[in-house]
Amino acid sequence: MKAFSYERPASVAEAARLAAERPNARFVAGGTNLLDLMKLQVETPSTLIDVNRLPLAAVENTPEGGLRVGALVRNADLAAHPRVRGEYGVLAKALLAGASGQLRNKATTAGNLLQRTRCYYFYDTTKPCNKREPGSGCAAIGGFNRIHAVLGASGACIATNPSDMNVAMRALDAVVETVGPQGEARSIPIAEFHRLPGDTPQVETDLRPGELITAVRLPKPVKGVHLYRKVRDRASYAFAVVSVAAVIDKEGDRVGSARLAFGGLAHKPWRVEAAEAALVASGRADAAADAALAGATGQEGQGGGNAFKIPLARRTLRAVVADATRA
Amino acid sequence: MDMSQPIGPTPLDARPDGLVGRGVDRVEGRLKVTGAAPYAYETRELRNPAYGMIVEAAIAKGRIRAIDAAAARRAPGVIYVMTHENAPPQGKKKEQVGPVLRGPEIAHFGQPIGLVVAETFEQARAAAALVAVDYERAEGRFDLRAAMPGAIVPKQVASPPDSSLGDFEGAFAASAVKLDVAYTTPVQTHAMMEPHATIAGWEGDRVTLYTSNQMLNRGQVSLASVLDLPAENVRLVSKYIGGGFGAKLQPQADAVFAALAARVIGRPVKVALSRQQEFHGSTRRTDTIQRVRLGSDAEGRLAAIAHESWSDTTVGDDFYETSANVTRSLYAAPNRLTRHRLAHLDLPLSSAMRAPGEAVGMLAFECAMDELAETLGLDPIELRVRNEPSEDPEKKVPFSTRQLVPCMREGARRFGWEKRGAPGSIRDGRWLVGLGMAAAARLNPLQPSSASVRLERDGTLTVRMAMTDIGTGTYTILAQIAGEMTGLPLERIRIELGDTLYPKAAGSGGSWGAGSAGSALYVACDDLRRQLAEKAGIAPASASFADGRIAGAERSAALADLAGDGIEARGEIKPGALNKTYSQYSFGAHFAEVGVDADTGEVRLRRMLGVFTGGRILNAKTARSQAIGGMIFGVGAALTEEVVIDRRSGTFVNHDLAEYHVPVHADIPSLDAMFLPELDDKANPLKSKGLGELGICGAGAAVANAVHNATGIRIRDYPLTLDKVLRGLEERESGAQSRRT
């Protein structure tokens, strides 16, 4: 860990201003990801801005009938919130599928949105990584890339977003609320929040310098069966190889509406609205999978690469749709 | 005492309800759970230690062209930076313990190339990152399969690398039923909770290391060699150890570095490996490629058994994985062949990890037996019963005890083995359900060990030996043995271990700890009993010890009243002829039920049972813990554990516990182990056998066989991750589809 200065601002505005002023500043909340990365010097911020004491830990009802989740609401608390459990089941399930009890007690909603990839080579500072060190190359390409992206990858980066929560947030059309250095508020739809790697994999979100996440707004609940299916290498405490967040509502024997998002496939949670339409139109999971996985390409790599994720995602979607539509 | 004669009746036989065998709680348990038991890095015996952080090589092969430590030396709090340019002279490599920083050559990724010593841990770690190294890179070899053609016959260790009996090739060729399969197992890491850690301090030319080490006397000798000191000038202290599993059989770089640096700066130095450093900077279990050939008649009687194994270690080392050794003693067949070959790669040192040999050998062999059973249409238990040998098939001597068949029968009964269906035939919702079994066997060695006991004036007993308790329960079983032998209650017995100032002991490794150290203590207590009987005027043969008293036919006395200024006794145990004239193994049988997700290929253990024999069970609770702990290791080996080698860079890709997947609680829903009654009078005076490793032997094979039974898919490339299962599911389904069309 490199030496850094530490600030504990008293207000949201001050936090954002400090972050814009100080070069290479990072906000810290739960620290469950950032501190690990700092120990390895994958992250080397000059200033840490501790936001834990800011008044951002409330879960409130919105006038539209949705929920406004404060940036500092811990993952465990969010998963246990009665309205989340009752009306946003896909989110509660996704949260509980993530990490471990101890980590969920610390990790925050905003921190989870900003969780960084688990690419092995990103973590290994002896290897090139365009995300860690822009322009240095990508060791995952041609390396051991079993956990890497099959959709939306670029020649610069094939990393995935490891979050479970983000996948559910994407299915629910969450909106990220922020405050900028001048105190200006902004709302960013989740679909636009996370980016594909392109030529700048180090830029992972739409956030501007100094911009602080204050809350995540959930629109009013989506009717239907809420499911989150996480496929993983062990029963707990493992990142998703593939995951599917789904909210599926039946009208009689037909699928009336569907929300489908995938984790583990791309640099961002992967949702293709056309796939949902295909499911509604045909009632067939495979039709939805065809649309959702269009253009999916496996990486060649040691140990067989990651092409298996494509049939795995299809099969997982099939299973989820079958579960959701079972009479 | 040496084990040249079987043991007759002993005081431990006299009291079936005695202390020995009872599931006594760990005597040091309270200290551990309250944080009052100091582990090596926490010891406060040495004042004002400085903190050392190891700098590791960023390449796998080549040499250091230049090393610039100027920035590190200037960094806050830095006291000393040691590199190959200024490292103190050192002596010779001994066992697998080598000098550090001998020169600029790099032999593997993560090789220690420097040490930064600072006032605080954080300062040392930050400064270590400032050491700038210019490398000259060379091509490395990181792939066992590619190195197979050049693999060598390894140097003989305890047993020869090759064996043969009869005419394997001829008998195999003539067999009615043949199996010829290759299995691979990956590199594994020990993943013990406590990393390697040492605090070293000097007084003149004598050094004391508070360290985390399984075998103190061996470590003392090898460290003395590396530090170029007489052995008596090196003291190792390891009171509490947070697991080892073989990784701490030898001192590692933390110990060598701490000792060297402490001498240079004239102040104690503490060094621990980080979790990431454990992967490259410690030892590993090698990957293996194994070929198994079985030839039998139509009834499943084996005529020919061959087991060949290839493994690798770092250049210049001789360690090889003895995967096929256990095969020499497992099943009967007149024609046999085993072979071990070793490749030298530019990877870290390979060494022992829990049940070296058996653990990975049985992953291959016990699955091959399952394959043969299926080919023959025989129950896997029945196949093993038909090939049960009447004596050790290669050593041609009797087994001291062998209850493999009773273990399989009892396990089958308790587990509901009869519910096992044809492969792929049982479904529970989305789960394909299967049952599998495998045999367990582990060599039972005895190592020289000694102990002293002292009956103190106050009637308490102090036991001393340079034995270690690596978390297995050694403190507790030794207290039980001393208690039963002397009739003193546990609270009046003090067990002092983990210090080379005490009588030499075997240490913890190879499943020999309890039997060896416990026997030395038994002998010491036996001598103490004799002395006490003499003092009390009681004929030793008629003396009994209970409730803190010695009693004879006519008189009795409190031990405290006989103690005077204290009575000392020593005991020693050595292996004797019986480990040649008898084949000594612990045996058992594993039963596993798994579910395989029909959609995703995820494999989840549903339940597991191990039925074992290990001679006299010294503590029902700690014995069971060892057994189930070993079984869980086996589940990990079967399903999740793999250190992935990047074949381009020689780096272990997943070098942390987030991505090296040991089983977590959710992976182990229901697991049990039990022991059949047994006494082995050829093993040691306790009539016990080793249990620390038996649980892992065959456990993974039972799980893999259950996966096959669930799905009909046979995966011979461990671990059985979901991508491999998925491939099988897809192939099977497309096969079914093409059969339909």
Give the tens place of pLDDT for each residue, B604-648.
Answer: 999 999 999 999 999 999 999 999 999 999 999 999 999 999 999
How many other CB atoms are found less than 10 A from the CB of residue B149? 7
- Catalytic option among B169, B484, B693, B731: B693
Q: How far apart are CA B241 and CA B196, in angstroms?
A: 10
- A235 interaction partners in chain B (CB closer than 8 Å): 604, 664, 666-667
Q: Counting beta carbons within 10 angstroms of the beta carbon of residue B229, is it exposed (0 to 12), middle (13 to 18) or buried (19 or more)?
A: middle
Residue B736 — very low, low, confident or very high, per pLDDT cuts 50/70/90? confident
- List the beta bridge partners of residue B198: B211, B271
How far apart, in whole angstroms, are the C-alpha atoms of residue B700 and residue B705?
9
Contact B44, B38 (CB under 8 A): yes
pLDDT tens readout for residues B388-430? 999 999 999 999 999 999 999 999 999 999 999 999 999 999 9
Q: Which residue of A has its CA nearest to B663?
A: A234
Where does the pLDDT of residue B15 fall: very low under 50, low under 70, confident under 90, or very high at 90 and above? confident
Q: How far apart are CA B478 and CA B412, in angstroms?
A: 34
Distance CA B163, CA B153 (A): 12
User: Measured between alpha carbons, how far is A279 from B48 in angstroms, rounded to an integer?
Assistant: 68
- Region class of B528: left (phi > 0), else alpha (psi between -120 and 50), else beta: alpha
DSSP strand E in B543-644: where? 544-546, 549-551, 556-558, 567-575, 585-597, 603-613
Provide the β-strand partners of residue B193.
none
Of B648, B651, B664, the CB nearest to A124: B651
A64 Cβ under 8 Å from any chain B Cβ: no
Is-contact A57 A14, C-beta < 8 A?
no
* pLDDT for position B651: 98
What does the H/E/C string look like for B445-513?
CCCCEEEEEEECCCCCEEEECCCCCCCCCHHHHHHHHHHHHHCCCHHHEEEECCECCCCCCCCCCCCCH
Q: Residue B566: how many CB atoms within 10 A of its CB? A: 11
CA distance B516 to B505: 8
The per-residue pLDDT for B182 is 98
User: Residues 32..61 of A with a Cβ closer than 8 Å to B: which?
Assistant: 39-41
Q: Which of A230, A261, A241 is nearest to A306 (CA)?
A: A241
Residue in B126, B664, B726 nearest the CB of A234:
B664
In chain B, whose CA is at the least distance from the CA of A230? B600
Q: Is A119 on the interface with B (CB under 8 A)?
A: no
* Distance between CA atoms of residues B712 and B706, nearest Å: 10
Point out the residue among B109, B653, B722 whose CB comes nearest to the CB of A241.
Answer: B722
Model-wide pTM > 0.80: yes
Residue B554 confidence class, pLDDT cut points 50, 70, 90: confident
Name the residue among A236, A303, A316 with its Cβ closest to that of B600.
A316
DSSP state of A74: B
In angstroms, the CA B376 to CA B394 distance is: 25
**Residue with tokens 């006594």, as numbered in its chain:** B24
Which of A315, A316, A323, A326 best probes binding to B when mutated, by most B CB atoms within 10 angstroms?
A315
The pLDDT assigned to B737 comes to 73
Residues 6+ apart with CB under 8 A from B221: B94, B95, B231
In this prediction, residue A326 carries a pLDDT of 87
Cβ within 8 Å, pair B129-A124: no
Higher pLDDT, B157 or B515: B515
Q: How far is CA B219 from the centre of its chain?
A: 17
> Which residues of chain B does A142 touch, with a Cβ-Cβ cutoff of 8 Å?
648
The pLDDT tens digits of the residues spanning B341-374 come to 999 999 999 999 999 999 999 999 999 999 999 9
B653 and A232 within 8 Å at the Cβ level: the answer is: no
Taking the CA of residue A275 and the nearest CA in chain B, the distance in Å comes to: 20
**Chosen from A136, A147, A308 to mutate, greatest number of chain B CBs within 10 A:** A308
Q: At B34, list the tokens.
A: 């309250």
For A257, the 3-state DSSP assignment is: strand
Count CA atoms closer than 13 A to B107's CA, side-chain side. 17
- B663–A231 C-beta distance less than 8 A: no
Q: What's the pLDDT score for residue B591?
A: 99
Residues 422 through 441 of chain B touching chain A, CB cutoff 8 Å? 430
Kindly list the residues from chain A whose CB atom is less than 8 angstroms away from the CB atom of residue B76: 3
Domains (ranges, CATH) in chain B? 2-37+447-575 (3.30.365.10), 357-445+581-737 (3.30.365.10)
> Residue B55 above 80 pLDDT?
yes
Is any Cβ of chain A less than 8 angstroms from the Cβ of B646? Answer: yes
pLDDT in tens, chain A (327 residues): 899 999 999 999 999 999 999 999 999 999 999 999 999 999 999 999 999 999 999 999 999 999 999 999 999 999 999 999 999 999 999 999 999 999 999 999 999 999 999 999 999 999 999 999 999 999 999 999 999 999 999 999 999 999 999 999 999 999 999 999 999 999 999 999 999 999 999 999 999 999 999 999 999 999 999 999 999 999 999 999 999 999 999 999 999 999 999 999 999 999 999 999 999 999 999 999 999 999 999 999 998 999 999 999 999 999 999 999 986
Chain-chain contact of A234 with B721 (C-beta, under 8 angstroms):
no
Collect all residues of chain B within an 8 Å Cβ-Cβ radius of residue A236. 664-667
How distant is the Cα of A316 from the closest Cα of chain B, in angstroms? 6
Q: Is the pLDDT of residue B739 over 90?
A: no
A298 and chain B: CB distance < 8 Å anywhere? no
Amino acid code (one letter) for A303: G
The answer to whether B740 faces chain A, any CB pair under 8 Å, is no
Mean pLDDT over B678-697 rounds to 98
> Can you give the length of chain B in residues?
741
What's the pLDDT at B158? 84
Could you report the per-residue pLDDT of B232-269, keeping only the tens digit for each? 999 999 999 999 999 999 999 999 999 999 999 999 99
Contact A318 B129 (CB under 8 A): no
Q: How far from each other are the two terminal CA atoms of chain A, in whole angstroms?
A: 55
Measured distance CA(A324)–CA(A317) in Å, rounded: 10
Neighbour-count burial of A40, counting CB atoms closer than 10 A to its CB (0-12 exposed, 13-18 middle, 19+ buried) = middle
> What is the per-residue pLDDT for A218?
98
Confidence at residue B735, expressed as pLDDT on a 0 to 100 scale: 85
Which bin fits A138, alpha (ψ -120 to 50), beta or left (φ > 0)?
beta
CB atoms near residue B379 (< 10 Å): 17
Q: What is the pLDDT of residue B379?
A: 98
Q: State residue B222 phi and psi, 5-degree precision.
A: -70, -40
- Give a three-class secondary structure readout of B54-103: EEECCCCCEEEEEEECHHHHHCCCEEEEEECCCCCCCCCCECCECCCCCC
Q: Say what the pLDDT of residue B740 is.
A: 63
Q: How many CB atoms lie within 10 A of CB B351?
A: 23
A63 in contact with B at a CB cutoff of 8 Å?
Answer: no
| Alpha carbons B288 and B57: distance in angstroms, whole number | 26
Nearest residue of chain B to residue A33 (CA atoms): B658
pLDDT, tens only, B184-206: 999 999 999 999 999 999 999 99
ipTM of this model?
0.97
Q: Is B484 a catalytic residue?
A: no
**DSSP secondary structure letter of residue A203:** -
- Would you say A95 and A216 are in contact if contact means Cβ atoms under 8 Å apart? no
- Among B276, B647, B667, beta carbon nearest to A235: B667
Cβ neighbors of A100 (< 8 A, separation 6 or more) are A236, A237
Cα distance between residue B671 and residue B680, in whole Å = 27
pLDDT confidence of residue B741: 56
What average pLDDT does the segment B317-333 reach?
98
For residue B664, the chain A residues in CB contact (below 8 A) are 234-237
Q: B148 falls in which pLDDT band (50, 70, 90)?
A: very high
| B575-596: pLDDT as tens digits | 999 999 999 999 999 999 999 9
Minimal Cα distance from B662: which residue of A?
A234
Q: Is the pLDDT of residue B230 over 70?
A: yes
* CA separation for the pair B697, B703 (Å, rounded): 12
Which domains can be identified in chain A, with CATH numbers?
5-52 (3.30.43.10), 225-325 (3.30.390.50)
Whether the Cβ atoms of residue A245 and residue A88 lie closer than 8 Å to each other: no
Beta bridge partners of A59: A69
Burial class of residue A317 (count of CB atoms within 10 Å of its CB; 0-12, 13-18, 19+): buried
The model's confidence at residue B490, banded by pLDDT at 50, 70 and 90, is very high
- The tally of CA atoms less than 13 A away on the side-chain side of residue B350 is 30
The residue-averaged pLDDT of B294-301 equals 98
The CA distance from B310 to A281, in Å, is 56
